[in-house]
Structure 1
Amino acid sequence: MSIDSTQNHINPVRPDPSTGSGLKADVEGWAGFDKLSPNGIKNSSNSINNCLLEVSDLQVAYGGIQAVKGISLQIAPGELVALIGSNGAGKSTTLKTLAGLLQPVSGEIQYDGNSLKNIAAHQRVSMGIALVPEGRGVFARLTVAENLQMGAYSRNDKSEIASDLVRMYELFPRLAERKDQLAGTLSGGEQQMVAMARALMSRPRLLMLDEPSMGLAPLMVKKIFETISDIAAQGMSILLVEQNAKLALQVAQRGYVMESGAITLSDEAKELLGSEAVQRAYLGG
């Protein structure tokens, strides 16, 4: 996979503990994502003994094909994990299964110590699992503001929803400028912002992103990844599926390599970046 040289240098903005800054526009009250995470999850140790998500021997058949072949992976609270691999490797199928949109043939998914077996997709949203799908999936005939409000459909705390809407506009200033515009008329990058903000409006503990850079201009890719890094730095657990392996591994703490439905390699992100096999297959080395 050839990596565009204009996309190779992402400089994640990390929060300054002394000022609480780090998010765009110095969003007040977001330290530790205490407003977005129902249980106030902060950036804790990334020990895998303390799993938020644990997937064991997951097998998924999709369209008559066994797309996922017994994979296992783990995500700790506050950890950003990248899942990379070639097209058709089963990455998106994995995310859809974790979100409850597809049913596994076998295997176990544990979230916060509880099995997700027979838990419907909408119930998983209420539990704190949010998916930003490949292709963004915005409601084209709704305004930006209406799209974001749809993200909070499982919530009843109207005053907090209003406060979170303000925070989304602070995190994504472009959306504040376009809040009354139909989402279908936005650029691809702006639609990606809508999709991410809509997911955050559900106050997730686990945010899953499926190919957030797909179809975007290099400058917009840089902005999106800086925002992903900002969100992760505030304590959000993130599972990132991304075609641009180098960018994904630059912002992640750990990574998994998936090929033909199976996990073939897993390690710290910096180790995967330096791996000759990964460089040859995904980094243009």
Structure 2
Amino acid sequence: MSGLANTNVLKISGLKVAYGGIKAVKGIDLEVNQGELVALIGANGAGKTTTLKAITGTLPECKVEGVITYQGESMKGAKSFHLVERKLAMVPEGRGVFTRMTIEENLMMGAFTRNDKAGIEADVAKWFDVFPRLKERAQQLAGTLSGGEQQMLAMARALMSHPKLLLLDEPSMGLSPIMVDKIFEVIRNVSAEGITVLLVEQNAKLALQAAHRGYVMDSGTITMTGQASAMLDDPRVKAAYLGE
């Protein structure tokens, strides 16, 4: 962790989320510091996506307790569209591209909080360089893209907003191995540029290989946390999540 300032970008304290009588998240603590890539891993249904939705205020009707702060300010009552203005962006599970807009229009939507025309054009060119498949299909409707291409587009669109914190929810889900490699290459590059990232991912090995620190979530609780490199070697993580 050397060279990374120990300042919280995101801090979660005592987060509980309940849908009716079902407790999806049971009082977790989690923090992401400036410039870190933090992985939140765990089995399906562990509460990882619910945690991200609690951060972004996009949960359905449910009971939420605890404190979530972003850049030192409480997120209580924050509307999701205000978060983009505060430089927090999320790539949701299932990608969520605007299917009836072109690829280029989707990218422009990612920059709607900006007014630096030249900078926006430069960023569109940058992401077309990173993802040549998007460039080839720039005027195609996003709904006609493959799952992997939609994932590329969703990531590029989120990054067009110049986020200080990027939340990624299961970016590898349903993708071919070659596409997963490309997406993780971009995640590592984004982190290397200094963007703070919280990555929720079922592919524990890839997530921990890319991350600085990790948290393991199981049945709504955090069961383990530590340096990602150490967690990769931990026999409990290997047995439960790495298939070793």
Identify the residue that residue 224 of structure 1 maps to in structure 2.
Answer: 183
1:83/1:162 CA distance change after superposition, 3 Å: same
Does residue 245 in structure 1 map to residue 204 in structure 2?
yes
Asked if the contact 1:58–1:104 (Cα under 8 Å) also holds between the matched residues in 2, the reply is no
Asked if the contact 1:210–1:241 (Cα under 8 Å) also holds between the matched residues in 2, the reply is yes
Identify the residue that residue 76 of structure 2 maps to in structure 1.
Answer: 117
For these two proteins, the number of residue pairs brought into alignment is 242
Gapped regions of structure 1 (runs ≥ 5): 1-42
1:183/1:259 CA distance change after superposition, 3 Å: same
1:94 to 42, 51, 64: 51
1:100 alignment partner AA: G
1:66 to 6, 13, 23: 23
Instruction: Give identity over the alignment, percent.
Output: 59
Deviation at 1:62, TM superposition (A): 3.5
Listed one character per residue, the Cα deviations across residues 81-138 of structure 1 (whole Å, up to 9, x for unaligned) are 0000000000001111111212762111111111111111111111011110011111
Listed one character per residue, the Cα deviations across residues 152-194 of structure 1 (whole Å, up to 9, x for unaligned) are 2223333332222222212222211111111111111111000
Is the strand fraction higher in 1 or 2? 2
1:47/1:211 CA distance change after superposition, 3 Å: same
Listed one character per residue, the Cα deviations across residues 34-69 of structure 1 (whole Å, up to 9, x for unaligned) are xxxxxxxxx983354x11111111111246522111
Q: Structure 2: how far apart are the matches of 1:157 and 1:115?
A: 29
Identify the residue that residue 105 of structure 2 maps to in structure 1.
Answer: 146
Does residue 45 in structure 1 map to residue 20 in structure 2?
no
Matched ranges for 1:68-217 at <5 A: 68-102=25-59, 105-217=64-176
2:49 alignment partner AA: S
1:281/1:165 CA distance change after superposition, 3 Å: same
- Structure 1 segments, 4+ long, off by >6 Å, are none
Deviation at 1:200, TM superposition (A): 0.6
The two structures, once aligned, show a CA RMSD in angstroms of: 1.7
Does residue 262 in structure 1 map to residue 212 in structure 2?
no
1:64/1:147 CA distance change after superposition, 3 Å: farther
Q: Structure 1: how far apart are the matches of 2:120 and 2:5?
A: 32
2:29 alignment partner AA: S
- TM-score, with structure 1 as normaliser: 0.81
1:240 alignment partner AA: L
Q: Structure 1: how far apart are the matches of 2:191 and 2:135?
A: 22
